[in-house]
Every structure is written in structure tokens, then in C-alpha cells.
Amino acid sequence: MFRTKIIQPNPEGEQMLRDAMRNIVQPSRRAFLQRTLTLGGMTLLTGCTPNSERSIEAALTQISRWNDRVQGMLFDPTRLAPIYPDSMITRPFPFNAYYGEDEVRQINGDDWRLELSGLIADRAPWRLEQLRQLPQETQVTRHICVEGWSAIGKWGGVPFASFLRRIGADLSAKYIGFLCADDYYTSIDMASALHPQTLMALTYDDRELPPRYGFPMKLRIPTKLGYKNPKHVHAIFVTNTYLGGYWEDRGYNWFGGS
């Protein structure tokens, strides 16, 4: 017969848990970390000094990194996100960014170049017209925001996996990073980059991608939360060095699976 031992936290442990909860201020951290701490994450706080903000924050970061590893192991590179009919497209599709819509970057498509670096054989920059000449696909998928809302949109563009193969990217590398014209930046794992639905979006709803949605190119990843879908991308690099991101460096989970 198996016996279950119930561990009652001591007063100092309870105080650390309360302090930790106050540190979980970002929505993406709250969704996972609160569940983890409730289900037994206190074990990761045992090394903390009571009332030590730095020690508690380190423990929360440890939990977040553990979550990233678990999500990576559970990720199925062949499982597709749901596809919807055009009749279910959200109109108008919401604007979202870390700045207001009146600050959307206006980019000259004729001057724009996609810069490539890192573990890539052919690092020649790409013009927008060159990308438009590649085989295109369209998808109607749901964008899921970490803030709790979602919307269905229609995106068209170049499958990212085929582009990575075309430029000779090292597909055994761990990470791909993105720099954007609006000063946003993020990074993803190679498995997510090679997912068949990950798209270099050039159009929205069968028209040229509007500036508010990321002109001239947005990375659309329906298997990840919205903050992992960078807009106005102007540089891509492949590396084995861990990279963060604009929100990830502010406490959001790095993997960001939806």
C-alpha cells in the first residue's frame, strides 16, 4: 500500500509563497507559474531567503525555464493548429503591439532588405519582390494573445521551413532570432521554425500586409502565443546561443506555446 505524505509549509514558506505571487506580475508568467507554485512549486523556493526579492525572482525564473524545457519536449512538430473557414475571420482583426497604433512604423518596401546572418550558407539579403516570387501558401488560423483574447486571421506568404532550406540554414542549430524595424526582437526554437504552418507572412486577407499588421513581413506561428509572432522583420539569424526577446527578457516564458 502506498502512503501519501502531506507536507504543511511552515510560516516562512507561506510568506515566501505570498512574496513570490506578488512577483508574478506579467500575464504569461501568471498563467503557468501560479499553477506550478500551487501544485508544488514551493519546493523550488526552499533555497530562498525569506523576504529576499532577488532570491524569489531567481526561483521564479528557474520555474519559467523549467516550463520552457517541458513545452519543448511536448511540442509535436507535425501537429497542426486548427484551420478555419474565411467566414470566421475576425473583422477587423485587432492591432496589438507594445506601442500605440499611431506609432506604427511606416516602411518603404522598395528599400527594405531582409538581412541574414549566423549559421546560414547563403547570407545574401533578400528584397521584398524576391520573397513574393517564391511559392506561397495561405492559412486562416487563430492568433492567441497572452492577455487573454484571440482573433482569427488570414495570412499568406512563404513557408518558413522552405525558406530556411533555400538559404542553407543549419537546421540542426537550436535557435533562430529576429530583429524588427519597430525595435522588437524575439527568438524561437528550430522545431517551431520548421513547423509546416510557420509562415513568412506577406499578405493579410489576400491583400498586401498592412503596416499595422507588420509590413513588409511578419512571422506567423499559429502554434505560439502572439508575442512570438514578430512584425516588420528585417533581420534573421541562426545560432546555438540562447536568445531572449523583448517580452521574454521582461519575464515572459521563452517557448511561448499556445
The residues spanned by each domain of the chain are 11-74, 86-250
- Per mean pLDDT, which range of 25-29, 119-123, 124-128, 232-236 is the poorest? 25-29
32 pLDDT more than 70 = no
As a whole number, mean pLDDT of residues 149-177 equals 98
Query: What pLDDT band is residue 76 in, cutting at 50, 70 and 90?
Result: confident
pLDDT at 5: 42
For the chain, the average pLDDT equals 83
Percent of the chain residues topping a pLDDT of 90? 67
Q: What angle do CA 222, 197, 174 make, to 5 degrees?
A: 90
Q: What pLDDT is recorded for position 78?
A: 87
pTM above 0.85, yes or no: no
pLDDT for 100-134, tens place per residue?
Answer: 999 999 999 999 999 999 999 999 999 999 999 99
pLDDT tops 50 at residue 170? yes
Query: pLDDT tens-digit profile of 188-220?
Result: 999 999 999 999 999 999 999 999 999 999 999
For residues 181 and 185, give the distance between their C-alpha atoms in angstroms, rounded to a whole number.
9
Bigger pLDDT: 5 or 54? 54
86-250 folds as Sulfite Oxidase; Chain A, domain 2 (3.90.420)
Q: For 138-161, what is each residue's pLDDT tens digit?
A: 999 999 999 999 999 999 999 999
Give the per-residue pLDDT at 143: 97
Which range has the worst mean pLDDT, 77-81, 84-88, 111-115, 214-218? 77-81
